[in-house]
Amino acid sequence: MGEADQGKKDQYVAHLAIEDSLCEFGLYLRAERGLMESSARGYLHDLTSYLFFLNERGVSPMEVDTEDVLAYLSLLHQRRVKPSTLSRRLTVIRLFHRYLVREGKTKIDPTVHITGPKLTQSVPVFLSHEETVMLLNGGDGGSRDRLIRMRDAAILELFYASGLRVGELTSLRVDQVDLETGFLRVLGKGGRERIVPLGNPARQALNRYLKEGRHRWERGASGNLLFLSKRGLPLRKETVIRIVQRYTLWRIGKKISPHKLRHTFATHLLFGGADLRVIQELLGHARITTTQRYTHIARVSQLRNAYARTHPRARSEGSGGGGDR
């Protein structure tokens, strides 16, 4: 066998080993960590890049040392990967090596002494109360089909009333919605179930959709999923994102993602006096630190209002020239 053929064979064997590692780790993520399919796929996508990097260095995942991990992170930095992406990749790599130690495939975790990049906490973008009213009570959003408008209205109301993630909304089943009591049973990240209350506008919009729209589209392939397309197929995440962006652009003049409606839900609750722990439970956050980012919005708003009430220049209107500058 020539050198070229041997090289191809070695590469083939290495790729098989990488696929085996991804498959085993994927089973661990889904079965034992309880990750949703979309999250598991994201983790495996990030890990694939790392495993191929190790393969090019001629290093087995079981033989990795801290220098190898740092070399990979340095490569990402050279490629100007964002700090948030670097942090996410390191999280996946750390979890993978802990998994290898746990399974007894190696004794050393090379990530123990590695710290991630310092991230600046971004302030969540949210709609004002006036913008929210415009969105939920505005025009038809460009759709001429009454039943589609009915379904889309239910989607918008539900996002604002419950703060669901896109994946949670698209996977929501009819039997998880109790319009009589006004509650949803939501299966969130990590397979954690939570109960979320619904306000009257959302209940009414869902009731109209269920009575007049959904049953007309229901097909054998529909299953028990709540939101369907006209052809009776489950709505994809990408479709729901486009729906929300179309209505927000039509009604308030800017494209807003469903996740921004989740931010709006949480922020409006905080402004209304809701306890942070309650908001954490409604959002399905595993840690309170994730929810605490919304308190920054409240502090900024309070400072702005206090300034507007008390500072002479903030209260004076149309005051021109005069005085030292």
CA-closest candidate to residue 235, choices 124, 133, 158, 183: 158
- Output DSSP code: residue 230: T
Which of 149, 165, 214, 260 is catalytic? The answer is 165
- Is 113 assigned a catalytic role? no
- C-alpha closest to that of 22 among 8, 42, 6: 42
Number of other CB atoms surrounding residue 191 within 10 Å:
11
Enclosing H/E stretch for 195? strand 193-197
Residue 216 annotated as catalytic: no
Cα(33)–Cα(26) distance, rounded to whole angstroms?
10
- Is 319 exposed, middle or buried (CB count within 10 Å of its CB: 0-12, 13-18, 19+)? exposed
Indicate which residue of 189, 194, 208, 255 is catalytic.
Answer: 189
Q: Which of 105, 259, 268, 293 is catalytic?
A: 259
| 259 catalytic per annotation | yes
Determine the residue type at 178: D
Q: Is 94 a catalytic residue?
A: no
Beta pairing partners, 186: 194
- Read off the DSSP letter of residue 176: G
Contact 134, 95 (CB under 8 A): no
Residue 159 CA neighbour count, 13 Å, CB half = 30
Question: Kindly report the CA angle at 185 between 179 and 186, in degrees rounded to 5?
Answer: 130
Q: How far apart are CA 252 and CA 141, in angstroms?
A: 10
The answer to whether the beta carbons of residues 123 and 300 sit under 8 Å apart is: yes
Residues with catalytic roles: 165, 189, 259, 262, 285, 294
